[in-house]
Each structure stands twice: as structure tokens, then as C-alpha cells.
Structure 1
Amino acid sequence: MRAIGLIGGLSWESTVIYYQIINQRVRERLGGSHSANSLIWSIDYTTVENLIFADRWDEVSALLTGAGRKLEELGAGVLLICSNTFSRVSDDVARTASVPVLHIADVVGAEVRARGMRKVGLLGTRFTMEQPFYRDRLAAHGFDVVVPRREQRELVHRVIFDELVRGVISEASRDAYARIVAELADDGAEGVILGCTEIELLLGEKDTAVPVLPSARLHAEAAAGFALAG
């Protein structure tokens, strides 16, 4: 089994999902008390949060590529950036790594394609919803990606940074997100990507009339499968 290297803390609230799902899938596959060989490099979130709001992505890239190199030196056989927003620098990490880097958008895109969906909604940070690095990577898998209206994007973004990354779960925010998903469905979305790893702490399929695709869970499951294949 390959050792999985997680570049986490982006935020740690959702890195917990990765650790839990990866170990659950390994135990289901191997039985008994098996768990994954894994390494986590958890970054101080405030540091990188300040950098992205200052548009200092070169410094973010340096921090995450450095984390990837450290994990590889410690024995990681595959790397994951445990975030959608920070996947903006995934190609930089991949260029400096000598082990595979599983891109979260490719994992989500493969799931959308496997379900036969032709049009999906996307919720995430403003960076993820509005910049091309994520939407274009998804669209390359052969389906249309739509995002909420501007004022709804602002609400989704605010809840992520003011609440979810700080461990705050609000029923009012859950209801607001569910209404946004319903509107995307009315506009023809056959499902909605939870394109911020913290959103699945707030919203699930029991809250929506259309399927949701939880990016952290899908990414973690793909990592477990890749590690076990090795």
C-alpha cells in the first residue's frame, strides 16, 4: 500500500474528512483493524488565507510545493492538496514532485461523467466559482458548469470564510445554501458540486432535491483506491 501524503490545514476542519474517509475505505477493503499509511502536512490556515486575499499566489505555491517535497521525502507515494481553492497551484506541486498528485477537480469531473450528468452547478469560494483554474478543468471532462448569481456567490463565499473554516455550522446558512442549490436545479443543473471541502460539513443530499457531489469525500476515496492499487 502506498503512503498517502495530505497537504492539509486548508482548512483543518475538512482535512479531518480526508483522514476519516481514507481510513474507513482502507478498513472496508482490507478488513480487521487495517488503516492507511498516511502523512499529513497541516499548514497554518491564517497564513495562506491572508496570501490568497492579497493575491500572492506565488507565495502560496512556494508553501504548498515545499509541503509536497517534505511529504515525499518522508515516504509519500501520492500527494493530495486537500482543497478546491488551493488546487489553483496543483500543477506547480505536480511539477516539483516525482510522485503522482491527484487533482481534486479531475476526481470530481470523473464522478460527474460517470453519472452521465451534462450540466452541474458549482458552489465554492469566490476564487473557485469565478476564476478559470477550476471551472475549466471540470469542463474539460465534457459537461457544462454553472454558478449561482453574483449575490448568491457572495453569500456562499462569506459563509465559508466567516463560518465553516472556523467550525461554525448554522441552520440559517444551510437553508440559504439549499435555496441556492434549488435555483441551480431550476436552471437545469442535474447535480451540484460542493466545490469547497468545508461545504459538506454543512450540506448533504438530505438537504437538496438534486444530487450533491462532495469533493473532499470523492478526493479521499480516490486517494484510498490509488494507495491500495499500489
Structure 2
Amino acid sequence: MCAMPTATAPSKYPLSPVRLEADYAPALSRWLWLVKWLLAIPHYVVLLFLWIGFLLVTVVAFFAVLITGGYPRALFDFNVGVLRWSWRVEYYAYGSLGTDRYPPFTLRDVPDYPAHLDIAYPEHLSRGLVLVKSWLLVLPQLLVAALMSGGYRFNGGLAGLLAFYAGVSLLFTGRYPRGMYDLNIGLHRWVARVMAYGLLLTDVYPPYRLDQGEREPLG
């Protein structure tokens, strides 16, 4: 008797330096998602200034990598913190609608909050790649990311559409469909990897692979 083929285990996947994870909450408020656009405004105002800082820091980091081959750790931690904050807000709001718990105002990881993002600090980055990866090498991935979430964002695109349908489901049933949730998180995970590469935070090219669900592959 022939043995049945088995699926590739997550442990066979290459480990990504970008870790985006979330905790599934099947039962959420039926109506709160209708007003999250209002509740999230304070975060959006703060993030506007944080992203201005992010862009300025990225310019400084570009020259630092070009000259020294290293990304200054303080600048790296700040930019990762901005991405982390953005992900928490979009997980709460219209990127995912994955939680009713209001996001904290901090760049640091909050262990008991249901949305997390981290990027492993690179001890060395290529001085040659920094010249081309943010506009040329990332372009094919950016086109995919645009379909998934509108580009270098955590809302919009297919992910935003899934979040809207999840909101409608919550309105009528009070539950977030699990398959829809897993796909939504997978799309955000892909986009986070593209963002990390295109914004100079890693030299690891994002894989063309949709890793769905709450947790990253074990690697």
C-alpha cells in the first residue's frame, strides 16, 4: 500500500525576521465596529506624526546603512515601534476588526494585548541592496501588497474587504468567521514582511507565501 502524501509541516518553512501574530476572539460586540472609526481618531492623529518621524528616521538610516552597513539600533527600535503601533490600531479598527480592546498608546510591545509585531534586529545590512530594494526589488511584492491592503498600509484592499464582511457578520451573529479571520491575518502578515523589506529594516526578501492564522510558522 502506498503511503499517503503529507503536507509540508510549518517547521519546514524558512524563518522570517518579521513576526506578526494575533489572538482570535470569536465573540465580539455586534455594534462597536460601527463607531471604531471615531474611537480610533486619537490614534490616527498620533500616528500621523509618528509616520512623519518614521520617514525622517528612514532617510537617516538609509545613509547609515550605506556608509556603515548597520542600522542604528535606536532608530530601528523606533521604526519597528511605529509599525507595531500601526498594526495594533488596524487590528482594532478596519484593518481586521479583530478585537474590541482599545489599543495602548505605546511603541513597545504589550504582552497581554491580542496583536503583536516584531522584527529581528539585523546586525549587518547590505550597503548595495539599500540602493535598490526599496524601489526596484520590492516592486513585484508591492503590487501584491497593494491588492492585499492598499500598499504600505494595514487597511484597505482585500484585507479591508474581509474586515468589512466580518463586521457585517458580527452585526448579525456576534461572531467573527474563523476562516475569514485566518485569511485576514495571513494577508496582513504578508504585507508586514513586504513593509519591513521595502522600508530597509531587513535584507530578507519576503516569500511569496500566504501564512494564515494567528501564529507565525515555527520555522
TM-score by length of 2: 0.28
More strand by share: 1
| Structure ID, larger Rg | 2
Indicate the structure with greater helix content.
1
Please give the TM-score of this superposition, normalised by the length of structure 1: 0.27
Q: Which has the higher contact order (CA 8 A, sep 6+)?
A: 2
